[in-house]
Amino acid sequence: MFPLVLVSAIFAGCSAPEPPNLLGKWLVELNIGSQILPFNAEVVDADGKLQFYAINGEERIRADEFELRSDSFFVRLPVFNTALVGKLTADGLQGDFWDYSRKGEYRIPFKAKRFGVSRFTVAQKPSVNVSGKWRVVFSPGSDNEYQAIGKFDQQGDKAFGTFLTTTGDYRYLEGNVSGDSLFLSCFDGSHAFLFKARVVDNRIEGDFWSGTHWQENWTGERDNEFELPDSKTLTFLKPGYETLDFKFKNLKGETISITDSVYQKKVVIVQIMGSWCPNCKDETAYLVSLYNKFHQQGLEIISLAFEKSDNEETNLRSLQRLKDHFEVPYEILLAGKSSKTEAASKLPMLNHVLSFPTSIFIDRDGKVRRIHTGFSGPGTGEYYQEFVEDTDNFVTQLLIE
Protein backbone atom coordinates (compact mmCIF):
# COMPACT_ATOMS: atom_id res chain seq x y z
CA MET A 1 0.00 0.00 0.00
CA PHE A 2 1.32 3.40 -0.95
CA PRO A 3 1.52 6.38 1.39
CA LEU A 4 -1.06 9.24 0.81
CA VAL A 5 -1.33 11.81 -2.08
CA LEU A 6 -2.35 14.99 -3.99
CA VAL A 7 -1.68 15.91 -7.63
CA SER A 8 -3.83 14.43 -10.40
CA ALA A 9 -6.68 12.13 -9.51
CA ILE A 10 -10.23 10.91 -9.23
CA PHE A 11 -11.45 10.52 -5.67
CA ALA A 12 -12.99 7.04 -5.93
CA GLY A 13 -14.32 4.90 -3.12
CA CYS A 14 -13.80 7.37 -0.28
CA SER A 15 -14.15 5.89 3.17
CA ALA A 16 -15.37 9.15 4.74
CA PRO A 17 -17.45 12.13 3.53
CA GLU A 18 -15.43 14.48 1.33
CA PRO A 19 -14.85 17.83 3.05
CA PRO A 20 -16.47 20.48 0.82
CA ASN A 21 -13.45 22.76 1.16
CA LEU A 22 -11.45 20.42 -1.11
CA LEU A 23 -13.39 21.66 -4.12
CA GLY A 24 -11.87 24.39 -6.22
CA LYS A 25 -8.52 25.48 -7.59
CA TRP A 26 -5.26 24.97 -5.71
CA LEU A 27 -1.69 26.14 -6.02
CA VAL A 28 0.55 23.23 -5.04
CA GLU A 29 4.13 24.07 -4.04
CA LEU A 30 6.74 21.31 -4.05
CA ASN A 31 9.73 22.03 -1.81
CA ILE A 32 12.72 20.78 -3.83
CA GLY A 33 15.29 22.10 -1.38
CA SER A 34 16.62 25.51 -2.37
CA GLN A 35 13.57 26.26 -4.50
CA ILE A 36 9.78 26.07 -4.48
CA LEU A 37 8.26 24.46 -7.56
CA PRO A 38 4.58 25.43 -8.07
CA PHE A 39 1.90 23.87 -10.23
CA ASN A 40 -1.86 24.32 -10.49
CA ALA A 41 -4.45 21.75 -9.49
CA GLU A 42 -8.21 21.56 -9.27
CA VAL A 43 -10.69 19.41 -7.37
CA VAL A 44 -14.13 19.04 -8.94
CA ASP A 45 -17.26 17.07 -8.12
CA ALA A 46 -18.24 14.72 -10.94
CA ASP A 47 -21.46 12.85 -10.26
CA GLY A 48 -20.77 12.68 -6.54
CA LYS A 49 -17.11 11.70 -6.85
CA LEU A 50 -14.25 14.10 -6.37
CA GLN A 51 -11.75 14.39 -9.19
CA PHE A 52 -8.29 15.86 -8.81
CA TYR A 53 -6.42 17.35 -11.76
CA ALA A 54 -2.85 18.57 -12.15
CA ILE A 55 -2.81 21.43 -14.64
CA ASN A 56 0.06 22.57 -16.88
CA GLY A 57 -0.95 24.99 -19.61
CA GLU A 58 -3.46 23.21 -21.86
CA GLU A 59 -2.89 19.87 -20.14
CA ARG A 60 -5.12 18.50 -17.38
CA ILE A 61 -3.83 15.26 -15.84
CA ARG A 62 -6.43 13.22 -14.00
CA ALA A 63 -5.69 10.40 -11.58
CA ASP A 64 -8.33 7.79 -10.84
CA GLU A 65 -7.24 6.19 -7.57
CA PHE A 66 -8.05 8.20 -4.44
CA GLU A 67 -8.62 7.36 -0.79
CA LEU A 68 -9.80 9.69 1.95
CA ARG A 69 -9.51 8.78 5.62
CA SER A 70 -10.50 11.36 8.17
CA ASP A 71 -8.24 14.35 7.42
CA SER A 72 -5.74 12.33 5.33
CA PHE A 73 -5.78 11.49 1.63
CA PHE A 74 -3.91 9.31 -0.86
CA VAL A 75 -3.85 9.95 -4.61
CA ARG A 76 -2.04 7.54 -6.87
CA LEU A 77 -1.01 9.32 -10.05
CA PRO A 78 -2.00 7.86 -13.42
CA VAL A 79 0.31 5.36 -15.15
CA PHE A 80 3.40 6.25 -13.11
CA ASN A 81 4.42 4.50 -9.91
CA THR A 82 3.99 7.71 -7.93
CA ALA A 83 1.56 9.24 -5.45
CA LEU A 84 0.69 12.31 -3.43
CA VAL A 85 0.12 11.64 0.27
CA GLY A 86 -1.14 14.35 2.58
CA LYS A 87 -3.68 15.78 4.97
CA LEU A 88 -5.98 18.71 5.40
CA THR A 89 -4.70 21.51 7.60
CA ALA A 90 -6.04 24.83 8.79
CA ASP A 91 -3.97 26.52 6.06
CA GLY A 92 -4.80 24.16 3.20
CA LEU A 93 -3.11 20.87 2.31
CA GLN A 94 0.31 19.43 3.05
CA GLY A 95 2.14 16.18 2.51
CA ASP A 96 4.68 14.49 0.25
CA PHE A 97 5.03 13.50 -3.37
CA TRP A 98 6.39 9.93 -3.47
CA ASP A 99 8.18 8.32 -6.42
CA TYR A 100 8.25 4.60 -5.70
CA SER A 101 10.09 3.78 -8.93
CA ARG A 102 13.30 5.35 -7.61
CA LYS A 103 15.66 3.52 -5.29
CA GLY A 104 15.61 4.51 -1.65
CA GLU A 105 13.00 6.84 -0.19
CA TYR A 106 12.37 9.54 -2.80
CA ARG A 107 9.83 12.06 -1.65
CA ILE A 108 9.30 15.79 -2.03
CA PRO A 109 7.29 17.75 0.58
CA PHE A 110 4.43 19.92 -0.66
CA LYS A 111 1.96 22.47 0.60
CA ALA A 112 -1.16 23.64 -1.21
CA LYS A 113 -3.20 26.78 -0.84
CA ARG A 114 -6.18 28.19 -2.63
CA PHE A 115 -5.10 29.35 -6.09
CA GLY A 116 -4.92 33.10 -6.52
CA VAL A 117 -3.90 34.98 -9.64
CA SER A 118 -0.44 33.72 -10.59
CA ARG A 119 1.48 30.47 -10.56
CA PHE A 120 4.62 32.44 -9.63
CA THR A 121 4.82 35.77 -7.83
CA VAL A 122 4.78 38.67 -10.29
CA ALA A 123 6.58 41.46 -8.45
CA GLN A 124 7.04 43.73 -11.46
CA LYS A 125 5.33 44.42 -14.76
CA PRO A 126 7.12 42.44 -17.50
CA SER A 127 9.91 44.39 -19.18
CA VAL A 128 10.64 41.65 -21.74
CA ASN A 129 8.68 39.44 -24.10
CA VAL A 130 10.01 35.89 -24.43
CA SER A 131 7.61 34.75 -27.16
CA GLY A 132 9.31 32.96 -30.01
CA LYS A 133 11.96 30.36 -30.73
CA TRP A 134 15.25 30.17 -28.86
CA ARG A 135 18.46 28.22 -29.47
CA VAL A 136 19.23 26.76 -26.03
CA VAL A 137 22.26 25.03 -24.55
CA PHE A 138 21.96 23.10 -21.28
CA SER A 139 25.05 22.62 -19.09
CA PRO A 140 27.16 24.76 -21.48
CA GLY A 141 30.87 24.01 -21.48
CA SER A 142 30.50 20.76 -19.55
CA ASP A 143 30.66 17.10 -20.56
CA ASN A 144 26.86 17.03 -20.21
CA GLU A 145 26.26 19.86 -22.69
CA TYR A 146 23.31 19.39 -25.04
CA GLN A 147 21.23 21.61 -27.29
CA ALA A 148 17.53 22.27 -27.30
CA ILE A 149 14.88 24.43 -28.88
CA GLY A 150 13.02 26.69 -26.48
CA LYS A 151 9.49 27.60 -27.63
CA PHE A 152 7.73 30.23 -25.53
CA ASP A 153 4.46 32.12 -25.73
CA GLN A 154 3.99 35.13 -23.46
CA GLN A 155 0.55 36.59 -22.80
CA GLY A 156 0.89 39.60 -20.52
CA ASP A 157 2.69 38.31 -17.44
CA LYS A 158 1.77 34.68 -18.17
CA ALA A 159 4.13 32.38 -20.04
CA PHE A 160 3.79 28.97 -21.66
CA GLY A 161 6.12 26.77 -23.67
CA THR A 162 8.44 23.79 -23.74
CA PHE A 163 11.95 22.66 -24.65
CA LEU A 164 12.61 20.19 -27.46
CA THR A 165 15.76 18.03 -27.34
CA THR A 166 17.05 15.19 -29.51
CA THR A 167 15.55 12.68 -27.06
CA GLY A 168 12.14 14.25 -26.41
CA ASP A 169 10.47 17.33 -25.01
CA TYR A 170 9.86 18.82 -21.56
CA ARG A 171 6.11 18.65 -22.09
CA TYR A 172 3.72 21.47 -21.11
CA LEU A 173 5.38 24.26 -19.14
CA GLU A 174 3.49 27.13 -17.54
CA GLY A 175 4.58 30.15 -15.55
CA ASN A 176 5.03 33.90 -15.42
CA VAL A 177 7.25 36.77 -16.44
CA SER A 178 8.18 39.33 -13.78
CA GLY A 179 10.37 42.24 -14.81
CA ASP A 180 13.15 40.69 -16.90
CA SER A 181 12.76 37.22 -15.35
CA LEU A 182 11.07 34.09 -16.72
CA PHE A 183 9.65 31.38 -14.45
CA LEU A 184 8.26 28.07 -15.79
CA SER A 185 7.29 24.80 -14.13
CA CYS A 186 5.61 21.48 -14.78
CA PHE A 187 4.38 18.51 -12.78
CA ASP A 188 3.20 15.55 -14.86
CA GLY A 189 2.90 12.87 -12.20
CA SER A 190 6.48 11.70 -12.69
CA HIS A 191 8.71 14.69 -13.37
CA ALA A 192 8.78 17.96 -11.47
CA PHE A 193 10.50 20.62 -13.62
CA LEU A 194 11.42 24.17 -12.65
CA PHE A 195 13.06 26.78 -14.90
CA LYS A 196 14.20 30.23 -13.84
CA ALA A 197 15.99 32.69 -16.11
CA ARG A 198 16.78 36.34 -16.81
CA VAL A 199 16.43 37.88 -20.25
CA VAL A 200 18.80 40.59 -21.52
CA ASP A 201 18.12 41.78 -25.06
CA ASN A 202 18.01 38.61 -27.16
CA ARG A 203 19.86 36.41 -24.69
CA ILE A 204 18.58 34.35 -21.78
CA GLU A 205 20.46 32.72 -18.87
CA GLY A 206 18.98 30.52 -16.20
CA ASP A 207 18.83 27.35 -14.15
CA PHE A 208 16.86 24.13 -14.44
CA TRP A 209 15.84 21.81 -11.60
CA SER A 210 14.36 18.34 -11.95
CA GLY A 211 12.95 17.33 -8.57
CA THR A 212 15.53 17.19 -5.82
CA HIS A 213 18.05 15.12 -7.79
CA TRP A 214 19.18 17.35 -10.67
CA GLN A 215 20.17 20.94 -11.36
CA GLU A 216 21.95 22.53 -14.30
CA ASN A 217 22.31 25.93 -15.91
CA TRP A 218 21.21 26.87 -19.40
CA THR A 219 21.60 29.70 -21.87
CA GLY A 220 19.76 30.71 -25.00
CA GLU A 221 19.46 33.24 -27.75
CA ARG A 222 16.72 34.00 -30.23
CA ASP A 223 17.13 31.97 -33.41
CA ASN A 224 14.15 31.33 -35.67
CA GLU A 225 16.23 29.19 -38.04
CA PHE A 226 17.73 26.77 -35.51
CA GLU A 227 16.78 23.10 -35.77
CA LEU A 228 17.91 19.97 -33.95
CA PRO A 229 19.53 17.01 -35.75
CA ASP A 230 17.07 14.85 -37.71
CA SER A 231 15.55 12.39 -35.22
CA LYS A 232 15.45 9.74 -37.97
CA THR A 233 19.26 9.68 -38.32
CA LEU A 234 20.44 9.24 -34.71
CA THR A 235 19.78 5.51 -34.24
CA PHE A 236 20.39 3.03 -37.06
CA LEU A 237 21.13 -0.61 -37.84
CA LYS A 238 24.72 -1.77 -37.70
CA PRO A 239 26.30 -2.82 -41.01
CA GLY A 240 25.14 -6.26 -42.11
CA TYR A 241 21.69 -6.02 -40.48
CA GLU A 242 18.37 -5.38 -42.20
CA THR A 243 15.91 -6.78 -39.67
CA LEU A 244 15.14 -7.03 -35.95
CA ASP A 245 15.15 -10.24 -33.95
CA PHE A 246 13.90 -10.50 -30.37
CA LYS A 247 11.88 -12.69 -28.04
CA PHE A 248 10.40 -11.49 -24.73
CA LYS A 249 7.43 -12.32 -22.49
CA ASN A 250 4.18 -10.38 -22.51
CA LEU A 251 2.17 -9.39 -19.44
CA LYS A 252 0.61 -12.86 -19.31
CA GLY A 253 3.99 -14.60 -19.30
CA GLU A 254 3.66 -15.76 -22.92
CA THR A 255 6.77 -15.60 -25.13
CA ILE A 256 6.32 -13.26 -28.09
CA SER A 257 8.74 -12.93 -31.00
CA ILE A 258 8.88 -10.55 -33.94
CA THR A 259 9.09 -13.70 -36.06
CA ASP A 260 5.67 -14.97 -34.91
CA SER A 261 3.19 -15.57 -37.73
CA VAL A 262 0.91 -12.73 -36.63
CA TYR A 263 3.64 -10.23 -37.61
CA GLN A 264 4.57 -11.80 -40.94
CA LYS A 265 3.76 -9.72 -44.04
CA LYS A 266 2.59 -6.92 -41.75
CA VAL A 267 3.88 -3.42 -41.22
CA VAL A 268 5.22 -3.44 -37.65
CA ILE A 269 6.21 -0.60 -35.33
CA VAL A 270 8.44 -1.64 -32.42
CA GLN A 271 8.40 0.89 -29.59
CA ILE A 272 11.25 0.93 -27.05
CA MET A 273 9.73 2.49 -23.93
CA GLY A 274 9.11 2.42 -20.19
CA SER A 275 6.01 3.01 -18.06
CA TRP A 276 8.04 5.57 -16.04
CA CYS A 277 8.73 7.78 -19.08
CA PRO A 278 6.39 10.77 -19.76
CA ASN A 279 7.47 11.06 -23.41
CA CYS A 280 6.73 7.33 -23.80
CA LYS A 281 3.29 8.00 -22.34
CA ASP A 282 2.65 10.66 -24.98
CA GLU A 283 3.93 8.39 -27.73
CA THR A 284 1.82 5.48 -26.49
CA ALA A 285 -1.33 7.62 -26.75
CA TYR A 286 -0.39 8.43 -30.35
CA LEU A 287 0.49 4.83 -31.24
CA VAL A 288 -2.85 3.58 -29.91
CA SER A 289 -4.63 6.04 -32.22
CA LEU A 290 -2.36 4.98 -35.11
CA TYR A 291 -3.08 1.29 -34.46
CA ASN A 292 -6.83 1.88 -34.36
CA LYS A 293 -6.61 3.81 -37.63
CA PHE A 294 -4.47 1.34 -39.62
CA HIS A 295 -4.72 -2.09 -37.98
CA GLN A 296 -7.33 -3.37 -40.44
CA GLN A 297 -4.99 -2.47 -43.30
CA GLY A 298 -2.15 -4.51 -41.80
CA LEU A 299 -0.43 -2.49 -39.06
CA GLU A 300 0.88 -4.21 -35.93
CA ILE A 301 2.67 -2.62 -32.95
CA ILE A 302 4.85 -4.17 -30.23
CA SER A 303 6.10 -2.26 -27.19
CA LEU A 304 9.35 -3.38 -25.56
CA ALA A 305 9.31 -2.09 -21.97
CA PHE A 306 12.44 -1.45 -19.94
CA GLU A 307 11.37 -0.92 -16.34
CA LYS A 308 12.96 0.52 -13.20
CA SER A 309 12.05 -1.97 -10.50
CA ASP A 310 14.08 -5.07 -9.61
CA ASN A 311 10.76 -6.76 -8.81
CA GLU A 312 9.12 -8.36 -11.85
CA GLU A 313 5.64 -8.28 -10.31
CA THR A 314 5.96 -4.53 -9.69
CA ASN A 315 7.01 -3.99 -13.30
CA LEU A 316 4.13 -6.08 -14.61
CA ARG A 317 1.63 -4.14 -12.49
CA SER A 318 3.01 -0.84 -13.77
CA LEU A 319 2.75 -2.00 -17.37
CA GLN A 320 -0.78 -3.32 -16.84
CA ARG A 321 -1.81 0.08 -15.44
CA LEU A 322 -0.38 1.75 -18.54
CA LYS A 323 -2.12 -0.77 -20.80
CA ASP A 324 -5.44 -0.21 -19.02
CA HIS A 325 -5.09 3.58 -18.89
CA PHE A 326 -4.48 3.96 -22.63
CA GLU A 327 -6.55 0.92 -23.63
CA VAL A 328 -3.51 -0.43 -25.47
CA PRO A 329 -4.74 -3.10 -27.93
CA TYR A 330 -1.31 -4.49 -28.88
CA GLU A 331 1.36 -6.49 -27.04
CA ILE A 332 3.55 -4.93 -24.35
CA LEU A 333 6.61 -7.07 -23.58
CA LEU A 334 8.79 -6.81 -20.48
CA ALA A 335 12.26 -6.62 -22.05
CA GLY A 336 14.58 -5.57 -19.21
CA LYS A 337 15.77 -2.82 -16.86
CA SER A 338 15.47 0.88 -17.67
CA SER A 339 18.97 1.30 -19.04
CA LYS A 340 19.87 2.48 -22.52
CA THR A 341 22.88 0.18 -22.35
CA GLU A 342 20.70 -2.83 -21.52
CA ALA A 343 18.19 -1.89 -24.20
CA ALA A 344 21.01 -1.77 -26.75
CA SER A 345 22.33 -5.14 -25.54
CA LYS A 346 18.89 -6.72 -25.98
CA LEU A 347 18.77 -5.32 -29.53
CA PRO A 348 22.40 -5.74 -30.64
CA MET A 349 21.59 -4.91 -34.26
CA LEU A 350 21.19 -1.21 -33.25
CA ASN A 351 24.16 1.15 -33.05
CA HIS A 352 22.77 2.32 -29.69
CA VAL A 353 19.59 3.23 -27.88
CA LEU A 354 19.86 6.96 -27.34
CA SER A 355 16.41 7.63 -25.95
CA PHE A 356 13.26 6.27 -24.38
CA PRO A 357 11.15 6.21 -26.47
CA THR A 358 12.63 4.99 -29.75
CA SER A 359 10.38 3.60 -32.48
CA ILE A 360 11.42 1.22 -35.27
CA PHE A 361 9.34 0.95 -38.44
CA ILE A 362 9.44 -2.40 -40.27
CA ASP A 363 7.95 -3.10 -43.71
CA ARG A 364 5.99 -6.16 -44.85
CA ASP A 365 9.22 -7.95 -45.85
CA GLY A 366 10.57 -7.60 -42.31
CA LYS A 367 13.12 -4.94 -43.20
CA VAL A 368 13.73 -1.91 -40.98
CA ARG A 369 12.81 1.21 -42.91
CA ARG A 370 13.00 3.94 -40.28
CA ILE A 371 14.16 4.43 -36.69
CA HIS A 372 12.82 7.47 -34.86
CA THR A 373 14.64 8.61 -31.72
CA GLY A 374 12.68 10.42 -29.01
CA PHE A 375 9.22 11.91 -29.27
CA SER A 376 7.95 15.47 -29.53
CA GLY A 377 4.55 15.37 -27.86
CA PRO A 378 1.44 17.58 -28.01
CA GLY A 379 3.14 20.24 -25.88
CA THR A 380 5.45 21.08 -28.80
CA GLY A 381 2.60 22.35 -30.97
CA GLU A 382 3.50 22.42 -34.66
CA TYR A 383 6.40 20.00 -34.16
CA TYR A 384 3.95 17.38 -32.92
CA GLN A 385 1.53 18.08 -35.75
CA GLU A 386 4.32 17.76 -38.32
CA PHE A 387 5.40 14.46 -36.76
CA VAL A 388 1.87 13.06 -36.82
CA GLU A 389 1.34 14.03 -40.45
CA ASP A 390 4.72 12.66 -41.55
CA THR A 391 4.29 9.38 -39.63
CA ASP A 392 0.73 8.82 -40.84
CA ASN A 393 1.92 9.33 -44.42
CA PHE A 394 4.91 7.02 -43.96
CA VAL A 395 2.81 4.22 -42.46
CA THR A 396 0.31 4.60 -45.30
CA GLN A 397 3.17 4.27 -47.79
CA LEU A 398 4.46 1.10 -46.10
CA LEU A 399 0.98 -0.43 -46.05
CA ILE A 400 0.37 0.02 -49.78
CA GLU A 401 3.80 -1.21 -50.91
Burial of 358 (0-12, 13-18, 19+ CB in 10 A): buried
Residue 128 identity (one-letter amino acid): V
pLDDT at residue 2, as a whole number: 45
pTM comes to 0.90
3-class DSSP state for residue 336?
Answer: strand
Strand-pairing partners, residue 41, are 26, 54
Question: What pLDDT score does 11 carry?
Answer: 39
Amino acid 10: pLDDT: 35
Task: Judge residue 59's burial from the number of C-beta atoms within 10 Å of its C-beta, 0-12 exposed, 13-18 middle, 19 or more buried.
Answer: middle
All domains in the chain, ordered by first residue: 9-114 (2.40.128), 132-222 (2.40.128.120), 247-400 (3.40.30.10)
Segments in 222-374 forming alpha helices (H):
278-294, 312-326, 340-346
Do β-strands 107-114 and 92-99 pair in parallel, antiparallel, or remain unpaired? antiparallel
pLDDT along the chain (401 residues), means of 10: 41 43 88 96 81 91 81 86 90 92 88 91 96 97 96 97 95 97 95 96 95 96 96 96 96 97 98 94 97 98 95 93 96 95 96 96 98 95 95 98 95
The predicted pLDDT at position 19 comes to 46
pLDDT attached to residue 12: 40
Report the run of H or E that residue 106 belongs to, with start and end: none
pLDDT given at position 78: 85
Distance from C-alpha of 215 to C-alpha of 194, rounded to nearest angstrom:
9
Q: Euclidean distance between the first and final Cα of the chain, in Å?
A: 51
Query: What was the pLDDT predicted at 14?
Result: 43
**What is the distance of C-alpha 10 from the center of its chain?**
20
Q: What one-letter code names the amino acid at 79?
A: V
